Copies of this chain bind each other. A is one copy, B any other.
Amino acid sequence: MSLLDDLRGAIGAGHVLTGEDCAAWSRDWTGQYSWTPLCVARPADTGEVSAVLRLAHAARCPVVPVSGMTGLTGGASAEGAVMLSLDRMTAIREIRAPARLAVVEAGVVLEQLHAAAAEQGLAFPMTFGAKGSARIGGMLATNAGGSNVLRHGNTRDLVLGVEAVLADGRVVDLMSELHKNNAGYDLRHLLIGSEGTLGVITAAVLKLVPRPRAHATAMVATATLTEALALLNRLQDMTGGAVEAFEYMPGAYMRRYATLHPEVQLPLGQDHAVNLLVELGATAPRDATPDETGAVPIVSYLEEVLADLLEEGAVQDAVVAQTDAQRRAFWALRESAAEVTLSRKPVLLNDVAVPVDRVGAFLERAEAAIRAVDPGAESTAVSHLGDGNIHFGVWPSEAGIARKEALTEAVEDVVSEMRGSFSAEHGIGLSKLGSMARRKDPVALEMMRAVKSALDPRDILNPGKLVP
């Protein structure tokens, strides 16, 4: 019998797609990658995932686990492979509000979980642009970042336990609901972020957090990034860590935005070097309940703090949103990053991270480094300043277009110098394999290869990805 027949026998013929039926699974939504899979297998539960892997393992056939397919690095590319789609495993098995946890299957769409948590008055704080189609499995496999990392951490920080199926079909049960557990190696963290190369995550126990009842949002200008970081630390102290966003937009970004949107009145004009979008989240009624004048205490508080800082000279200018419409307008500035970045093409995108106190130095040096390669190059940047993540785009000059590789290398040289990461939140997949080979500590690469061979000796799990 062929592998396809075996798979049909194991999970039902209707759940093993081939030929035309695989169309939706045959390309990347970024348009960068396309492929022809052997088939798409859509198991209904962990037992069926195990059966698929057992069969593929015996046949030595590559398996590419996928869920929402919203990745940016070609990690789902699956030429000739069995695509193992978790999109039928969509049960939210349990939400236990008193314990503030959710038990979910890998196919749950992030937005579904947001809604289910909200029904219980809680939140699952991880969120990002693709939330309407990204699924929990992919989010864990790539340790997704996003907009709320400053307050609640990366995906891995929100995971108490996982269940996974190994290359040969064995199921490992690490579905801990515990906050303290020192019984052996932390295999949970090994699986999270391994991009499907060590095992297929089928379910997880996730932490939930209180839902903010009110937000205070401001646009703030400081003279330098050093002052911006001091402001962040001060706001963190003053609010006991309630800062949910601290986003940096350079002056050049604001000017480009103004050119694209001449109809918009920028809250702080376009002349400040350092523009910050600052947002606090309040869970306490005392901070969130409007007083008799209708003022929300957390908003009044942010106004007072910023007024003091203005007087001290620690801040150059500041506007606190007074209405939800104003808050949305502030966010629209930041959320236009893709539009601003793509307003000139081609653009070379870099998702890098450096220590939080070196963002300014990075931008200065990276700017100089690309100019050294291509004197006509320009850059565009926005940064989650609170976690050191910088989305750094390079617009090469006409002449520089042929030197794309050299420009990327120049940026990565600066990242390496600052002990930063060439992949902050998007992962490696296929598209960053070259950087991984060049930039990762060589002994760390040897360790990764040793672990990969130990857990997947036939190299069938997402082969050729992540590990160069």
Could you say which residues of chain B place their CB within 8 Å of the CB of A185? 190, 193-194, 198, 447-448, 451
CB <8 Å contact, A240 and B238? no
Which among A32-40, A95-103, A130-138, A311-319 touches the partner chain? A95-103
Could you say which residues of chain B place their CB within 8 Å of the CB of A238? 283-286
Compute how far the CA of A178 lies from the CA of B352 in the bound complex, rounded to whole angstroms.
10
CB <8 Å contact, A180 and B166? no
Q: Mark A408-431, 1 if CB is under 8 A from B, else 0.
A: 000000000001111111111000
* Most chain B CB neighbours (cut-off 10 Å) among A100, A142, A186, A285: A186
A30 at the interface (CB under 8 A from B): no
Could you say which residues of chain B place their CB within 8 Å of the CB of A28? none
Which among A18-26, A249-257, A325-333, A438-446 touches the partner chain? A438-446
A268 at the interface (CB under 8 A from B): no
Compute how far the CA of A423 lies from the CA of B443 in the bound complex, rounded to whole angstroms.
31
Copies in the complex: 2
Compute how far the CA of A31 lies from the CA of B167 in the bound complex, rounded to whole angstroms.
44
Give the interface residue-count category, chain A: 35 or more
* Most chain B CB neighbours (cut-off 10 Å) among A355, A419, A421, A440: A355
A463 at the interface (CB under 8 A from B): no
Compute how far the CA of A353 lies from the CA of B176 in the bound complex, rounded to whole angstroms.
10
A170 partner, pick from B186, B237, B424, B446, beta carbons under 8 A: B446
Q: List 6 A-B contacts (CB under 8 A).
A: A154-B179, A171-B443, A180-B424, A182-B426, A182-B427, A184-B436
Extra A-B contacts (17), CB below 8 Å, given A180-B384, A239-B240, A240-B283? A143-B182, A145-B180, A166-B443, A178-B424, A180-B421, A182-B421, A182-B425, A183-B428, A183-B436, A185-B198, A186-B189, A186-B193, A190-B190, A238-B285, A450-B454, A451-B451, A451-B454
Q: Which residues of A approach B to under 8 Å, CB–CB?
A: 96, 98-101, 142-143, 145, 149, 154, 156-157, 166, 170-187, 189-190, 192-194, 198, 210, 226, 229-230, 233, 236-242, 282-287, 301, 353-357, 384, 386-389, 419-428, 432, 436, 439-441, 443-448, 450-451, 453-455, 466-467
